[in-house]
Amino acid sequence: MTALTIPVTKSVRLSSDESEMLAQISQTEGVSESAVLRRLVREGLNGYRLEQAVHSYQRGESDMQAAARYAGVSVYHLMVELEKRDIAPPATTEKFVDGLKTLVETFGGSQALRETIAEYEADLTTTQPDSK
């Protein structure tokens, strides 16, 4: 069962061109201007949140799951959006090694993989002592 939301009235001033465009869309789609406005506002807000999530992910401020959650989309949807924009993961060596460690801890891994991770960690601490 979903929670009942109480509508809130907002007032907006439109130019005559915007008003005419709204009327045309309303007539074309056979719905009220209010319904068109609600849909356009919802689409705009969703688009804004997606933009913010993409930028946050691109700057390395959030991981993919957190960015997708903020945008209100699935991780898959966010991955598709990032691919469309040709945005590569902001992976640093340190984050990559941390990710590998997590995978090994979760799913196990060979001794060779564990030793390689340990070598990378040792390299990171000697080349970037203040990175954390």
Summarize pLDDT for 73-98 with one digit per residue, the tens.
Answer: 999 999 999 999 998 877 666 777 77
Domain assignment present for 6: no
Structurally, how many domains does the chain consist of?
Answer: 2
In a shared domain, residues 66 and 97:
no
In a shared domain, residues 60 and 21:
yes
Containing structural domain, residue 28: 16-84
Crossing angle (nearest 10°) for helices 33-58 and 16-29: 110
Please compute Rg for the chain using Cα positions: 23
For residue 6, the SS3 value is: coil
Summarize pLDDT for 20-74 with one digit per residue, the tens.
Answer: 999 999 999 999 999 999 999 999 999 999 999 999 999 888 888 999 999 999 9
